[in-house]
Amino acid sequence: MARMTRTTTSAILTIFLIPLPFTVLKVTKIRKVVKGVVILGIESSCDETAAAVVRDRTLLSNIIAGQEVHRKYGGVVPELASRAHQQNIVPVVDRALAEAGIDRIGIDAIAFTRGPGLLGSLLVGTSFAKGYSAALGIPLIEVNHLQAHILVHFLKLEGERLSEPVFPFLCLLVSGGHTQLVKVLDHHRMEILGRTIDDAAGEAFDKCAKIMGLPYPGGPHIDRLASEGDATRFSFSKPSVEGFDYSFSGLKTSFLYFIRDRLREDPSFIDSNRADLAASLQRTIVEILMNKLRRAVKKTGIRQIALAGGVSANAGLREAIRREAAGRGWELFIPPVPYTTDNAAMIAITGYYRYLEGAFATEEISPVARIYF
């Protein structure tokens, strides 16, 4: 805001103090004043190099470069991830600006993921953003990746009229690294009601998928297989954890032992039961997630419910939460699938709200691997 005010003042001064070439100056300066706030967002917390541009809340471009290099290792290799980010970041940003039709001098601030994530990966995005900010003389904005997953609900997408949650709302944030029940008070203040005490929901999907011999990340494979399977065929253990906290490591172990025992009797057990295994596993994960969410709604009385994070792409979870919402009168907010997994649009929109607050970082800022809110 401070920046816009300065721009407005300088535009007025320029118009009045310099008579020539009057019309050109007037047009260019006034366009700058009314154009809205343009934020370039950078995401590099894990294995996606992403850049996006928003003008105010409207998404102008959203580019994501995935990293195939990890596939053969069955998980993300941190060192390879940072190297791939280094290769990808410049072309990804260039493309995001080109698709948005924005020139570098049209950017008002650059927002980047400070954490949580892989330190080496975060470092690439952070260093890039710091360099860009210094070179262009624009503010630098740090973004918490987890908050950004939640604030994706406030993006305006062209051609879509999405309704947005009203504060305070509850958000079930389920990703590969985190599982949290969050009370969202406003765009900046968020309170964690519960979180996983061990594995995240996405990790449970990925680790169990790996046990079944599926590629990384396994969540989408389980989801696809589950649509053809019998979800009641097998039962796996569910945790009993106090309060609103979650636990998924027991489920993974129970799944591992179950498969190991069945393979002893029948070496083709996985192949002949793939879909039923996936469907039963998915049902169990979804039930664990839904139980705590239901309790949190009851305890807080908040009925505006949002879903966020990579696992919110899961068809079983989306269907279960829709059913629950319809039965209990909750107002539900589910992001479109491309905005559930890691992207820079969520970083740019969060950067926009921090820009309005004037919450700028200094050039001394460094990334942090583990942070909450």
Contact set with ligand KG4 (CB under 6 A): 46, 175-177, 202, 205-206, 217-220, 223, 309-311, 313-314, 341-342
Binding mask 305-344 for Zn ion (x = CB under 5 A): -------------------------------------x--
Instruction: Provide the residue type at 29 as one letter.
Output: K
Return phi, psi of residue 109, to 5°: -160, 160
Please identify, using beta-carbon distances, which residue of 147 and 175 lies nearer to Zn ion: 175
> What one-character DSSP code corresponds to residue 167?
S
Please identify, using beta-carbon distances, which residue of 103 and 319 lies nearer to ligand KG4: 319
Please identify, using beta-carbon distances, which residue of 202 and 229 lies nearer to Zn ion: 202
142 interacts with, out of ligand KG4, Zn ion, none, CB within 5 to 8 A per kind: none
Instruction: Provide the residue type at 167 as one letter.
Output: F
Listing DSSP states for 232-297 in one string gives TS--------STT-B--HHHHHHHHHHHHHHHHH-TTHHHHHHHHHHHHHHHHHHHHHHHHHHHHH
Tell me: does residue 88 bind Zn ion (CB under 5 A). no
Instruction: Provide the residue type at 165 as one letter.
Output: P
Listing DSSP states for 49-114 in one string gives EEEEEEETTEEEEEEEE--GGGGGGTS--HHHHHHHHHHHHHHHHHHHHHHHT--GGG--EEEEEE
Measured from the CB of residue 298, what is the shortest distance to ligand KG4 in angstroms? 26
Please identify, using beta-carbon distances, which residue of 149 and 187 lies nearer to Zn ion: 149
250 interacts with, out of Zn ion, ligand KG4, none, CB within 5 to 8 A per kind: none
Please identify, using beta-carbon distances, which residue of 129 and 313 lies nearer to ligand KG4: 313
Please identify, using beta-carbon distances, which residue of 246 and 330 lies nearer to Zn ion: 246
Measured from the CB of residue 177, what is the shortest distance to ligand KG4 in angstroms? 4
Measured from the CB of residue 57, what is the shortest distance to ligand KG4 in angstroms? 21
Measured from the CB of residue 175, what is the shortest distance to ligand KG4 in angstroms? 3
Measured from the CB of residue 46, what is the shortest distance to Zn ion in angstroms? 7
219 interacts with, out of ligand KG4, Zn ion, none, CB within 5 to 8 A per kind: ligand KG4
Please identify, using beta-carbon distances, which residue of 229 and 367 lies nearer to Zn ion: 367
Instruction: Compute how many residues bind Zn ion; rule: CB under 5 A.
Output: 2
CA dihedral 356, 361, 367, 372 (to 10 degrees): -50
Measured from the CB of residue 346, what is the shortest distance to ligand KG4 in angstroms? 9
Measured from the CB of residue 342, what is the shortest distance to Zn ion in angstroms? 4
Tell me: does residue 276 bind Zn ion (CB under 5 A). no
CA 311 to CA 366: how far, in whole Å? 28
Question: 5 Cβ partners below 8 Å, 6+ apart?
Answer: none
Measured from the CB of residue 27, what is the shortest distance to ligand KG4 in angstroms? 43
Please identify, using beta-carbon distances, which residue of 7 and 249 lies nearer to ligand KG4: 249
Q: Specify whether the CB–CB gap between 58 and 156 falls below 8 A.
A: yes
CA distances from 246 to 19, 184, 196, 249, 285 (A): 66, 19, 4, 10, 11
Among positions 166-195, residues that touch Zn ion (CB under 5 A) are 175
CA 147 to CA 308: how far, in whole Å? 10
What is the layout of strands, in order, in the sheet containing 49-55?
Answer: 58-65, 49-55, 38-43, 109-115, 140-144
Binding site for Zn ion (CB under 5 A): 175, 342
